Amino acid sequence: MIETIDFDQFLAADIRVGTIIAADPYPEAQKPAIKLTIDFGDEIGIRKSSAQITAHYTSDALVGRQVAGVVNLPPRQIGKFISDVLTLGFPDANGAVVLFAPDIRVANGARLF
């Protein structure tokens, strides 16, 4: 059964669009991952995320790509790396993450509503 939330709870998640400006392999992670550096514009700034997205993406192909992320969660330690944004994605048929992003380029920092 799906747990329901009210609209104010939904609005509490600050979901923004940013552009990946650096993507580096993270071989020290327990599961294969890539360390992302994402520009969320002037208001939010640069944030970092560890993402288990190696099934569909390479570090080189990610730079310049826009992604969506939750920017108001507390930082989380992923191994020796501090992740301060949750990059959003959906599982494919095999459970591998497919990144969630706008299909038309928007301004960095644009908020989902």
pLDDT score at 68: 98
Cα of first residue to Cα of last residue in the chain, in angstroms, is 25
Tell me the pLDDT tens digit for each residue of 32-48.
999 999 999 999 999 99
Site of tokens 């038309």: 104
Q: Are strands 15-25 and 66-70 parallel, antiparallel or unpaired?
A: antiparallel
pTM of the entire structure? 0.94
Domain chopping of the chain, boundaries:
7-99
**CATH code, 7-99:** 2.40.50.140
